[in-house]
């Protein structure tokens, strides 16, 4: 062809906004990707900021341990929960953390199956975030019981008394849902890491690290057989993980939906919770990814396209959540049920009305800004919106749990719930624990999947040479 | 050594001759053994004589501490002085695990009610009513139930004290006899004895003996919340003290003049039983009595009223006079225009029921109102039919306030040389203007026999611990004069002495209460075989034939002219409904028992109507228990107390409950609440005017178990079908009273899981809300039976009260005069219980007999069941409330002694487990054992739950609903039977019967 392709001419006339932003900035080679990502772990000096961050996070870990010790020694009475609000910040935080964990599996599994290539640069990070969030989430149901030393009774294990958990209870389902989720998420994350661990093993100059990464890489040599098996396993795990995206939060929502309490007893809780979870999960990925991308100079790999895509997911799930909120109100009205309608009125006008107002501001009004492309593509705005959504989703769980419980059927039993220091300290402590684990992850493992990033290069295409 | 230079050898010799010759001595100085020698040693060997006060070095400190620890430990090895022997032959009736019941009686403020005390291996654990006793009929009130807690209270005084220091009873007797010898020579002049109202005939007899020995001695009596007004009223009406006894079972129409005869005062349990007996409306008994109540503060009686008119207590007299005038009683006065219609209607109703009506006045109303009531009863021909009179049940009644005033005066002038205070706590409870404490300190010899080392004891030289009624021999008259022998259930736990013993010592007669008592009754029981009648009296709990004979009283005399009524804001002083006059302040059950109307615990407040609160600029709502603090200036005294708004309270009236604000009550009751006695004066013991209110712009957090105290069910955006109310007319037209509606009907009884089959028993309960006054007796009965802990004010504030049974209080209508409803709520034992499927470890499960059972051992504490309970009857052990095991928190009921009190058949729950009403499953199982021994079914009435047994109104009935002949099945067959929240398909086993009113058609509603 001696003349320029007509397409090039057309391309020149296409307005900028229709030109897709690449998922990988042009100009990279296999080597440069590997270098840049692995250098964060292998070459770069541990920055003083990392140390400061880790120290601060560790202080919060200590706060968490302190709060847990106080709880175990002094008893659950140190929390503000009471009769009628027997679940408070504990379950709020549990649901919030579990929700955050959702982005990981969604990005890893569903987007993989849907062949959304842009997921590649964020999945590793999102999966790690999922794991750490589930670890935080798991603490709360364990600690919120009156006798945590007997919490293992919720597990089905053979015993001389022939006692089993009660399988009619959503809490028993929770045990299975959350533990399965944690296991599969871990496997998925770890399997995905194996080729990169091998890369780190090969590139590491320290003998100790070579041993560590080598052990973790489980003898990966990158043979065609390995790749074949790896890909089969990864796809299978993705298939396994996919239903979990839906199941975990569905089961968590059953804790509420199967009860009789107005504000909980709602059939649409499962989809509502799943959408909310994805909403909050993506918000958390953005909250964390934007600063990490900046600090480690990963703009080439986590491009504006990623941020924008995630913003779009936020907008979409935000709209689902908004729909759920309005349906909650509509059905309370439509049912003509005294208790349901009072529950809604009480949420809007009762003593906790501010939480509801902020919930609407954070979760419904704020995400609407994402309709504007300029905001969607400005990391700082996106970051602020993501944080607001995180707060909003926390408030959502608080509103569902506390405002439903504090005034239910018999007005004589109505009460108020005020969280105590110990409830806040445990929550803040888990935030620190989460950050602590993330910082360790950033320092010791590749936060972006190296080998998958390499597949994004034009060179990875089978017919690359011919195209050239 | 200058002083010691010349040793006094003569004194040594004298010493040696006094039996010291075997002593070893080192020096003559030592032998002289005097202070100078000690001084010498100190100077010569300062190191040896160093004392702790001068500072200790580390080594000595450690030495001392370890030695003290070791020695302290040794005290644990002390053995009781008495010999204990195992049973060689087991006593016939004492079987471990099987309680015995002993009949005795509890006296309060000059009247008593018979009780049966449950005793496990000689430990009394619980109080039941004595069905054979005319004042109890098997029912108990909160005071009686809670008295078992006071028995074991480790804060009770445990030793005789002299000026605060431990002494012996012998020391006291020595001092006392010295004083008595002196006084006897003067004929007893200067000897004063102060007691509470005495309703023990034996003690009265002992007093007569004492007074005959000391003719110039004076016996004073004072009861802060006693029946003085009633007795003075009888004197005004009849010229002599008599005891009015009412027969509410015979009355069709009852008018209460500010009286709370259903929940307070002499005979109230019997009165409630009789009165409520006339309100059990069933298909086969479609009639009920009618009750009019005029009162200032809403009471249990006022809640039940068919017509309630809130009015200032001071206006009740004019109301009574208006009523009297309408009924042709002399001394009446025309009614005020606003009340004219009401008064006329009530009068016509009374006229129509001559001889079948009762007019009764409240104990805090002045004597003249009582006199008017007696006159009206006389004019209506009720005297002799529904009201009769006997001699007073108190021994030697006197005008008590006057007597107290006299005593205070004599103490100030120095005329009192010795004051023996038997019971009571006058330093705390005496009228403030008498300045009792000041006078008391001028008495040369003062002694106090009391249960606690209290405010009065602290100002007396001598304090002697007093026996609890479960530790002593005595006797007591009931509201109709029937005498019960009070027998001890246990040897005095803390070495107390009874009043009989003290009187016995003073009179020089027998000083064993048992001997005194038997001696008295030997002379009284005109029976051939004293031992036989004595044993029968002990067994039955009543002395046969001791009921006082009816006295025919002609209502003579003219009523005094109307009392000046200054108008404006009045203060009404009343005893506290849960801790009475302050004597139960250290009883944690009663402290935490919610006030029947306000649902306040641990505190008292100035109770006012919403309008008065607004007028006083004190806000009109107590949101979340936060209450504005007011300063009441009254007769030169001030009182700081929070204001609490009570819908239905009369305007321009402030009700002050006295009894709280103790300074020496014990660990539980000290500094709880506000001391109203501080402004209560002898010239206005129950009604006062001229108080000024200042808003201190401060708030106090009060502990209220029902946060929104003025819950008007209708304002909750749509009707909540909780309280069902109808009139007797409605009932006659349609016995379901409230027909099933689209909202409240059970659409389908289908459940996801297969239904239970109840082939044996199916336990169920029915509560007739029409018979409930909200008194709270059942709450304490449940607490006592089921070892329910007390949590303390801070925990109540954050919503952690543990009562398995609570009494919900709702208002309906205008806040000026709303209708008031009580509904006892306990576990509904749903057939389709929301709590059961949600428990992940199946700790709460369904018994084959339909009881929703908690397995405490299996409970992990997820609290899911509590969330999912629509009735919110589940209670969680946030802390180890029965026995704190963490630093920084103290159990309210703490002490080893309480372990003996606990019901051995009910588990004491640990931290982190859920608990709730079990339908007294331990009683069901006890009955089952008996039935299975006889190879028969459990009979109806054989299982009586604790709440059921306590209820004076018989509102609660429990039994087998599979047995169609059972009382509970009969109640549930009533068309009006309804369940709470049945639209949720919970299918509760506890169901209710609606409240019915019998309004006078002549009176417009409201």
Say which residues have a Cβ less than 8 Å from residue B280's Cβ, sequence separation at least 6: B288, B768, B770, B771, B954
Q: Do A166 and B878 touch (CB under 8 A)?
A: no
Element (H, E) at B281: none
pLDDT attached to residue A393: 92
With contacts defined as CB-CB under 8 Å, which chain A residues touch B889? Answer: 74, 77
Q: How far is CA B922 from CA A380, B942, B990, in A?
A: 66, 13, 18
Instruction: Give the CA count within 13 Å in the CB-facing half-sphere of A349.
Output: 7
Q: Which residue has the higher pLDDT, B236 or B714?
A: B236
For residues B188 and B216, the answer to whether their CB atoms sit within 8 Å is yes
The tens digit of pLDDT for each residue in B11-27 reads: 656 655 665 556 665 66
Say which residues have a Cβ less than 8 Å from residue B445's Cβ, sequence separation at least 6: B175, B179, B417, B418, B419, B461, B462
Q: Which DSSP letter does residue B247 get?
A: -
- Determine the residue among A141, A152, A410 to mutate to test chain B binding: the one whose Cβ has the most chain B Cβ atoms within 10 Å: A410
Q: Looking at the predicted structure, is the pLDDT value of residue B889 above 60?
A: yes
The tens digit of pLDDT for each residue in A381-412 reads: 999 999 999 999 999 999 999 999 988 888 88
pLDDT attached to residue B409: 92
Distance from the Cα of residue B433 to its chain's centroid: 27
pLDDT attached to residue A285: 87
For residues B815 and B647, the answer to whether their CB atoms sit within 8 Å is yes
Q: Do B860 and A163 touch (CB under 8 A)?
A: no
With contacts defined as CB-CB under 8 Å, which chain A residues touch B886? Answer: 73-75
pLDDT attached to residue A2: 46
Q: Looking at the predicted structure, is the pLDDT value of residue A104 above 80?
A: no
Q: How far apart are CA A156 and CA B296, in angstroms?
A: 62
% of chain B residues with pLDDT over 90: 46
Chain A closest-CA separation from residue B598 CA (Å): 12
Q: Looking at the predicted structure, is the pLDDT value of residue B143 above 90?
A: yes
Q: Do B798 and A80 touch (CB under 8 A)?
A: yes
pLDDT attached to residue B710: 45
Number of Cβ atoms within 10 Å of the Cβ of A6: 8
pLDDT attached to residue B573: 93
Three-class SS of residue B324?
A: helix
The tens digit of pLDDT for each residue in B237-257 reads: 888 899 999 999 999 999 999
% of chain A residues with pLDDT over 70: 90
Section B502-516 average pLDDT: 85
Q: Do B876 and A83 touch (CB under 8 A)?
A: yes
pLDDT attached to residue B24: 63
The shortest CB-CB distance from A166 to any of B717, B806, B842 is to B842
At B449, is the pLDDT very low, low, confident or very high (cuts 50, 70, 90)? very high
The tens digit of pLDDT for each residue in B350-365 reads: 999 998 999 999 998 9
Q: Looking at the predicted structure, is the pLDDT value of residue B498 above 80?
A: yes
Average pLDDT, chain B: 86
DSSP result, A339-399 = HHHHHHHHHHHSTTHHHHHHHHIIIIIGGGGGGSHHHHT-HHHHHHHHHHHHHHHHHHHHI
The tens digit of pLDDT for each residue in A74-100 reads: 889 999 999 899 999 999 999 999 988
Section A416-443 average pLDDT: 92
**Of the candidates B893, B990, B965, the residue with the CA atom closest to the CA atom of residue B149:** B893
For residues B695 and B616, the answer to whether their CB atoms sit within 8 Å is yes
Q: Looking at the predicted structure, is the pLDDT value of residue B549 above 70?
A: yes
Chain A: residue nearest B887 by CA?
A74
With contacts defined as CB-CB under 8 Å, which chain A residues touch B870? Answer: 260-261, 408-410
pLDDT attached to residue A14: 61
Q: How far apart are CA A367 and CA A381, in angstroms?
A: 11
In sequence order, the β-bridge partners of residue B995 are B725
**Helical spans, DSSP H, in B491-542:** 499-507, 513-524, 530-540
pLDDT attached to residue B370: 92
Greatest mean pLDDT range, A219-228, B589-598, B886-895: B589-598
Q: How far apart are CA B599 and CA B797, in angstroms?
A: 12
Task: Give the lowest-confidence range in B38-47, B129-138, B402-411.
Answer: B38-47
pLDDT attached to residue B511: 72
A74: contact with B, CB 8 A cutoff = yes
pLDDT attached to residue B714: 43
Q: Do B878 and A77 touch (CB under 8 A)?
A: yes
Q: Looking at the predicted structure, is the pLDDT value of residue B716 above 70?
A: no
The shortest CB-CB distance from B880 to any of A75, A83, A416 is to A75
Q: Do B912 and A163 touch (CB under 8 A)?
A: no
Chain B closest-CA separation from residue A74 CA (Å): 6
For residues B405 and B434, the answer to whether their CB atoms sit within 8 Å is yes
- C-alpha dihedral (A96, A98, A103, A107), degrees to nearest 10: -170
pLDDT attached to residue B64: 81
Q: Which DSSP letter does residue B452 get?
A: S
pLDDT attached to residue B829: 93
Q: Do A147 and B912 touch (CB under 8 A)?
A: yes
A411: contact with B, CB 8 A cutoff = yes
Q: How far is CA A461 from CA A411, B387, B472, in A?
A: 68, 109, 102
Peptide bond into A84 cis (omega under 30): yes
Section B86-102 average pLDDT: 76
Section B461-467 average pLDDT: 93
- Determine the residue among A71, A411, A422 to mutate to test chain B binding: the one whose Cβ has the most chain B Cβ atoms within 10 Å: A411
Number of Cβ atoms within 10 Å of the Cβ of B156: 23
Q: Looking at the predicted structure, is the pLDDT value of residue B555 above 80?
A: no
pLDDT attached to residue A16: 62
End-to-end, the C-alpha distance of chain B in Å comes to 95
A154: contact with B, CB 8 A cutoff = yes
pLDDT attached to residue B47: 54
Q: Looking at the predicted structure, is the pLDDT value of residue B712 above 50?
A: no
Section B591-617 average pLDDT: 90
Section B42-55 average pLDDT: 54
**Of the candidates A342, A351, A346, A344, the residue with the CA atom closest to the CA atom of residue A416:** A351
Q: Which residue has the higher pLDDT, A107 or B197?
A: B197
For residues A100 and A129, the answer to whether their CB atoms sit within 8 Å is yes
Q: Do B624 and A409 touch (CB under 8 A)?
A: no
With contacts defined as CB-CB under 8 Å, which chain A residues touch B825? Answer: 410, 412
Check: pTM over 0.90? Answer yes or no. Answer: no
Q: Looking at the predicted structure, is the pLDDT value of residue B90 above 80?
A: no
Q: Looking at the predicted structure, is the pLDDT value of residue A257 above 70?
A: yes
Section B429-457 average pLDDT: 91
Section B661-671 average pLDDT: 88
pLDDT attached to residue B188: 86
A86: contact with B, CB 8 A cutoff = yes
Section B441-465 average pLDDT: 92
A137: contact with B, CB 8 A cutoff = no
A3: contact with B, CB 8 A cutoff = no
pLDDT attached to residue A207: 87
Chain B closest-CA separation from residue A355 CA (Å): 19
Q: Do A82 and B878 touch (CB under 8 A)?
A: yes
pLDDT attached to residue B4: 46
Q: Do A154 and B861 touch (CB under 8 A)?
A: no
pLDDT attached to residue B922: 93
The interface pTM score, or ipTM, of the predicted complex is 0.89
Chain B: residue nearest A148 by CA?
B860
- Determine the residue among B703, B796, B840 to mutate to test chain A binding: the one whose Cβ has the most chain A Cβ atoms within 10 Å: B840
With contacts defined as CB-CB under 8 Å, which chain B residues touch A141? Answer: 862
Q: Looking at the predicted structure, is the pLDDT value of residue A260 above 80?
A: yes
A162: contact with B, CB 8 A cutoff = no
pLDDT attached to residue A337: 83
pLDDT attached to residue B42: 62
Residue reference for tokens 């369940």? B979
pLDDT attached to residue A22: 63
Three-class SS of residue B811?
A: strand
Q: How far apart are CA A122 and CA A192, in angstroms?
A: 13
At B148, is the pLDDT very low, low, confident or very high (cuts 50, 70, 90)? very high
Q: How far apart are CA A386 and CA A363, in angstroms?
A: 10
The tens digit of pLDDT for each residue in B821-835 reads: 999 999 999 999 999
């Amino acid at each position: 062809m001696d003349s320029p392709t007509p397409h090039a001419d057309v391309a020149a006339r296409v307005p900028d906004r229709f030109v897709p932003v690449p998922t990988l900035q042009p100009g990279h080679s296999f080597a440069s990707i590997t270098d840049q990502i692995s250098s964060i772990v292998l070459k770069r000096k541990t920055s003083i900021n990392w140390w400061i961050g880790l120290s601060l996070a560790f202080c919060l870990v200590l706060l968490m341990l302190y709060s847990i010790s106080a709880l175990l020694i002094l008893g659950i009475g140190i929390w503000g929960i009471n009769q009628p609000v027997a679940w408070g910040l504990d379950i709020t935080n549990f649901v919030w953390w579990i929700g955050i964990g959702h982005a990981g599996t969604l990005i890893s599994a569903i987007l993989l199956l849907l062949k959304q290539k842009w997921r590649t640069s964020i999945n590793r990070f999102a999966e790690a975030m999922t794991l750490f969030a589930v670890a935080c989430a798991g603490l709360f149901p364990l600690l919120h019981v009156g006798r945590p030393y007997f919490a293992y009774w919720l597990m089905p294990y053979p015993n001389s008394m022939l006692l089993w958990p009660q399988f009619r209870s959503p809490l028993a389902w929770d045990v299975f849902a959350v533990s399965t989720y944690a296991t599969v998420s871990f496997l998925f994350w770890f399997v995905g890491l194996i080729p990169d661990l091998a890369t780190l093993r090969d590139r590491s100059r320290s003998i100790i690290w070579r041993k560590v990464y080598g052990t973790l890489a489980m003898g990966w040599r990158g043979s065609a057989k390995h790749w074949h098996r790896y890909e089969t396993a990864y796809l299978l795990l993705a298939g396994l993980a996919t239903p979990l995206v839906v199941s975990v939060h569905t089961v968590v929502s059953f804790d509420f939906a199967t009860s009789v309490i107005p504000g909980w007893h709602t059939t649409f809780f499962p989809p509502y919770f799943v959408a909310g979870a994805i909403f909050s999960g993506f918000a958390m990925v953005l909250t964390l990814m934007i600063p990490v991308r900046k600090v480690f100079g990963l703009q080439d790999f986590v491009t504006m396209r990623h941020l924008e895509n995630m913003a779009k997911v936020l907008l979409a799930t935000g709209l689902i959540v908004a729909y759920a909120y309005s349906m909650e109100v509509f059905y309370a009205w439509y049912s003509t049920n005294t208790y349901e309608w009072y529950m809604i009125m009480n949420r809007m006008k009762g003593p906790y009305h501010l939480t509801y107002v902020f919930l609407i501001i954070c979760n419904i009004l704020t995400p609407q800004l994402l309709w504007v492309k300029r905001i969607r593509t400005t990391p700082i705005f996106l970051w602020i919106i993501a944080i607001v959504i995180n707060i909003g989703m926390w408030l959502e769980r608080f509103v569902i749990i506390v405002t439903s419980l504090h005034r239910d059927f018999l007005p004589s039993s109505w009460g108020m719930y005020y969280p105590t220091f110990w409830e806040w300290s445990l929550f803040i402590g888990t935030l620190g624990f989460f950050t602590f684990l993330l910082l360790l992850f950033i320092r010791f493992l590749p936060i972006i999947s190296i080998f998958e990033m390499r597949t994004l290069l034009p060179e990875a295409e089978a017919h690359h040479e011919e195209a050239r | 050594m200058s002083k010691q230079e010349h040793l006094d050898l003569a004194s040594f010799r004298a010493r040696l001759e006094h039996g010291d010759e075997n002593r070893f001595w080192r020096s003559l100085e030592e032998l002289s053994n005097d202070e100078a020698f000690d001084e010498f040693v100190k100077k010569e060997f300062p190191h040896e004589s160093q004392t702790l006060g001068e500072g200790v070095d580390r080594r000595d400190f450690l030495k001392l501490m370890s030695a003290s620890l070791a020695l302290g430990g040794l005290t644990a090895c002390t053995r009781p002085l008495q010999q204990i022997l195992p049973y060689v032959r087991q006593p016939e009736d004492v079987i471990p695990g099987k309680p015995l019941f002993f009949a005795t009686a509890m006296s309060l403020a000059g009247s008593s009610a018979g009780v049966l005390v449950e005793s496990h291996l000689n430990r009394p654990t619980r109080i039941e009513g004595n069905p054979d006793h005319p004042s109890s009929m098997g029912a108990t009130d909160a005071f009686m139930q809670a008295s078992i807690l006071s028995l074991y209270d480790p804060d009770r005084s445990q030793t005789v004290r002299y000026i605060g220091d431990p002494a012996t009873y012998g020391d006291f007797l020595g001092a006392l006899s010295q004083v008595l010898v002196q006084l006897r020579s003067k004929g007893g002049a200067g000897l004063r004895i102060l007691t509470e109202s005495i309703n023990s005939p034996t003690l009265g007899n002992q007093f007569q003996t004492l007074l005959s020995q000391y003719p110039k001695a004076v016996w004073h009596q004072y009861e802060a919340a006693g029946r003085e007004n009633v007795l003075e009223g009888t004197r005004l009406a009849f010229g002599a003290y008599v005891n009015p006894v009412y027969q509410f079972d015979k009355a069709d129409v009852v008018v209460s003049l500010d009286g709370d005869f259903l929940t307070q005062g002499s005979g109230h349990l019997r009165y409630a039983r009789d009165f409520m007996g006339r309100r059990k409306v069933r298909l086969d008994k479609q009639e009920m009595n009618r009750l009019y109540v005029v009162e200032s503060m809403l009471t249990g009686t006022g809640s039940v009223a068919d017509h309630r008119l809130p009015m200032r207590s001071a206006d009740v007299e004019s109301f009574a006079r208006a009523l009297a005038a309408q009924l042709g009683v002399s001394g009446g006065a025309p009614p005020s225009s606003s009340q004219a219609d009401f008064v006329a209607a009530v009068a016509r109703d009374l006229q129509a029921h001559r001889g079948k009506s009762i007019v009764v006045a409240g104990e805090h109303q002045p004597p003249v109102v009582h006199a008017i009531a007696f006159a009206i009863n006389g004019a209506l021909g009720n005297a002799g039919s529904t009201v009769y009179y006997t001699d007073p049940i108190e021994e030697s009644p006197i005008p008590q306030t006057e007597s107290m005033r006299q005593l205070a005066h004599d103490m100030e002038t120095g005329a009192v040389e010795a004051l023996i205070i038997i019971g009571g706590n006058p330093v705390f409870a005496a009228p403030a203007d008498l300045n009792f404490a000041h006078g008391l300190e001028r008495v040369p010899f003062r002694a106090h026999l009391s249960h606690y080392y209290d405010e009065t004891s602290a100002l007396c030289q001598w304090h002697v611990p007093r026996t609890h009624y479960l530790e002593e021999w005595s006797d007591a008259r009931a509201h109709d004069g029937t005498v019960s022998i009070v027998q001890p259930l246990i040897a005095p736990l803390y070495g107390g002495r009874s009043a009989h013993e003290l009187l016995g010592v003073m009179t020089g007669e027998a000083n064993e209460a048992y001997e005194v008592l038997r001696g008295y009754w030997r002379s009284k029981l005109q029976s051939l075989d004293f031992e036989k009648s004595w044993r029968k009296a002990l067994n039955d709990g009543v002395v046969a034939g001791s009921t006082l004979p009816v006295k025919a009283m002609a209502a003579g005399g003219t009523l005094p002219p109307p009392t000046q009524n200054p108008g404006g804001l009045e203060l009404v002083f009343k005893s506290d409904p849960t801790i009475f006059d302050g004597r139960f302040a250290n009883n944690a059950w009663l402290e935490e028992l919610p006030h029947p109307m306000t649902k306040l615990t641990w505190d008292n407040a100035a109770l006012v109507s919403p309008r008065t609160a607004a007028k006083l600029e004190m806000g009109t709502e107590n949101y979340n228990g936060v209450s504005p603090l007011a300063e009441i200036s009254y007769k030169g005294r001030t009182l700081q107390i929070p204001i609490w708004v009570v819908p239905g309270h009369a305007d321009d009236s402030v009700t002050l409950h006295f009894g709280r604000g103790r300074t020496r009550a014990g660990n539980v009751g000290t500094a709880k609440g506000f001391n109203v006695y501080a402004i209560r004066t002898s010239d206005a013991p129950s009604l006062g005017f001229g108080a000024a209110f200042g808003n201190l712009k401060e708030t106090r957090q009060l502990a209220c178990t029902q946060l929104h105290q003025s819950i008007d069910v209708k304002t909750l955006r749509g009707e909540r079908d909780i309280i069902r109310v109808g009139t007797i007319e409605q009932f006659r037209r349609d016995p379901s009273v409230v027909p099933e509606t689209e909202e409240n009907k059970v659409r389908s009884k289908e459940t996801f899981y297969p239904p239970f089959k109840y082939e044996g028993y199916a336990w169920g309960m029915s509560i007739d809300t029409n018979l409930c006054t909200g008194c709270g007796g059942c709450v304490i009965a449940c607490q006592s039976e089921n070892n329910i802990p007390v949590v303390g004010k801070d925990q109540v504030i954050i919503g952690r009260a543990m009562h398995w049974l609570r009494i919900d209080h709702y208002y309906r209508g205008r806040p000026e005069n709303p209708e008031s409803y009580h509904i006892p709520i306990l576990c509904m034992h749903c057939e389709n219980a929301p709590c059961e499927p949600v428990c992940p470890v199946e700790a709460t499960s369904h018994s084959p007999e339909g009881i929703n059972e908690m397995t405490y051992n299996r409970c992990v504490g997820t609290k899911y069941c509590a969330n999912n309970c629509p009735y919110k009857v589940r209670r969680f052990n946030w802390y180890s409330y029965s026995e704190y095991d963490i630093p920084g928190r103290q159990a309210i009921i703490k002490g080893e002694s309480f372990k003996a009190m606990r019901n051995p058949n009910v588990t004491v729950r640990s931290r982190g487990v859920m608990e709730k009403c079990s339908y007294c499953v331990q009683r069901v199982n006890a009955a089952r054992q008996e039935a299975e021994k006889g190879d028969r079914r459990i009979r109806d009435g054989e299982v009586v739950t604790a709440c059921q047994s306590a209820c004076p109104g018989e509102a609660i009935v429990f039994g087998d609903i599979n047995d169609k002949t059972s009382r509970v099945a009969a109640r549930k067959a009533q068309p009006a039977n309804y369940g709470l929240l049945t639209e949720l398909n919970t299918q509760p086993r506890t169901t209710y019967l609606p409240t019915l009113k019998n309004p006078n058609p002549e009176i417009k509603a409201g």
